[in-house]
Amino acid sequence: MGRARALAAITLFSIAVSVVFTGLLMLAMHVPHDRFAGGIFIGALVPLIVAPAASYGYLVLLYELKHAHARLAESAVRDSLTGIYNRSYLMERLELEIVKASRTAAPLALLMIDVDRFKGINDAHGHPTGDLVLREIARTCAVCLRPYDVLARFGGEEFAVLMAETSLTVAWEVAERVRRQVSVLRIALDAQLTVDTTVSIGLGLLEAGERAPAALIARADAALYEAKRNGRNRCALSSEEHAPVPSQ
């Protein structure tokens, strides 16, 4: 209910209560019938004037508290730097999706994304630039993903993407799309200076009967390290020969 509708509802309720109470009081006091209508009118007029003024401040405070609570709840699951979900939220969703996948036998994929040579960016340009790079990569990843994928900052320069009901082929296509878009990203520091970077991505799939989130994370991490070892700026599985398409 909006603020105006709530105010109108409170006012109408106050008028109804006041009219009924005034009518009963006049009946109890044996007020003459020729004064009855006037008393009812006053009983309706007073709350019509007083109720909106008295209720407005309370409603404003109530709605502000509601919005503040919503903002607080949202901030608890968001990374303060990038604005995407944080690791805590990802782990909660991962547990829920694993339970769902085990019940429906639907595929479940996890991407682990790491910014290549991120320390060098911090050393060369400073941590504020490093923060800018992380925000831009998070934004780029979000654009590449589907609305129902869960993008989170896993820690430091590492991100994760949880993809429910997603096959290996589709997950690999998404991973490659993210990798390519980040590789062409040019982050402007000023009119003359830009920073470019790449990411390495590891893809892990939930195995049949698996219930532990740690096992899926470890599998995606192992693939990520394999991508790093093989030259960075690439996607990898823990067993590269199973990849549906080669990295570009």
Q: Where do the domains of the chain lie?
A: 3-75, 87-242
- pTM for the whole thing? 0.72
More confident residue, 178 or 44: 178
Of 56-60, 95-99, 192-196, the range with the highest mean pLDDT is 95-99
Pick the CATH number of 87-242 from 3.75.10.20, 2.60.40.10, 3.30.70.270, 1.10.357.10: 3.30.70.270
Tell me the percentage of the chain whose pLDDT exceeds 90: 60
Q: Can you say whether the dihedral through the CA atoms of 129, 119, 185, 160 is positive or negative? A: negative
pLDDT average, residue stretch 122-151: 96
Mean pLDDT score, 27-35: 75
pLDDT for 247:
45
70 to each of 63, 67, 91, how far by Cα in Å?
11, 5, 21
Residues annotated as part of the active site: 157
**Which residues, listed in sequence order, are joined to residue 205 by a DSSP beta bridge?**
109
DSSP structural state of residue 125:
H
H or E element: which one contains 228?
A: helix 213-229
Output the pLDDT for position 179. Answer: 98
pLDDT of residue 67: 67
B/e letters for 140-162, b = 16+ CB within 10 Å, e = fewer, are bbbebbeeebbbbbbeebbbbbb
The mean pLDDT value for 83-111 works out to 95
Between the alpha carbon of residue 121 and those of residues 153, 169, 196, 229, the distances in Å are: 18, 33, 9, 20
Cβ count within 10 A of residue 206: 22
Lowest mean pLDDT among 177-186, 206-215, 219-228: 206-215
